[in-house]
Amino acid sequence: MLTDLLANDILMTMFGYLKSGWYILLVLIGFGFIIFVHELGHFLAARMVGIKVETFAIGFGPRLFGFRRGETDYRIALLPFGGYVKMLGQEDFTLDHDRLDKTKVDPASFLAKTPGQRMLVVSGGVFMNIIFAIIGFIIVFMNGLDFPAPVAGDIMPNSPAERAGFAPGDKFIAVNGHRVLNFNEIMLAVALSDPDSPLDFEIERNGKILHKIVRPIYNPDSQLRQIGIAGAGSLKVWGSAAGLKDGDIIVQVGNVKPKLFSSVEKVIKQAEGKPVTLIVERKVDGKNKKVKVVKRAHLVLYAEPMSFPPTEEDLKEQKTEAYKEPAILGLVPRRKFLGELTLKDASKSKAPLIQKGDIIIRIGNILNPTGRQIQSYLEKLRGKQAKLEVLRGGKRIEVVLPVPKNDFEFNYVFGQMIFDEDNTVVADVLKGTPAADLKIPSGARIIACDGKEVSNWFEIIDYFKAHRGKAVRLTWVFGDKKYSGTMKIPADGKWLSQIDYTIDFITYPLTTKIVGKYPHQAILLGLRQTWYIIKMAYVTIQRVAFTHTIGAKQISGPIFIIHKGKEIAESGLYKLIYYLALISANLAVINFLPIPAVDGGLILILLVEKIRGKGLSPKITAIWQAVGISLLIALLLFVTYNDISKLINGQ
User: Mind telling me the catalytic residues?
Assistant: 39
Among the listed residues 570, 569, 588, 587, the one whose alpha carbon sits nearest the alpha carbon of residue 579:
569
CA dihedral of 84, 88, 90, 95, whole degrees rounded to 10: 170
For 513, phi then psi, to 5°, come to -90, 120
- Radius of gyration (C-alpha) of the chain in whole angstroms: 31
Neighbours of 461 (CB within 10 A): 22
- DSSP, collapsed to helix, strand or coil, labels residue 99 as helix
Distance CA 263, CA 251 (A): 11
Among the listed residues 617, 621, 619, 606, the one whose alpha carbon sits nearest the alpha carbon of residue 111:
606
Distance CA 515, CA 527 (A): 13
Output DSSP code: residue 57. Answer: E
The DSSP annotation for 113-180 comes to S-HHHHHHHHHHHHHHHHHHHHHHHHHHHHH-EEEE-SBEEEE-TTSHHHHHT--TTPEEEEETTEE-
Distance CA 57, CA 68 (A): 12
Distance CA 470, CA 492 (A): 11
Question: SS3 string of 566-591?
Answer: HHHHHHCHHHHHHHHHHHHHHHHHHH
What helix, strand, coil percent values describe the chain, rounded to 5? 40, 30, 30
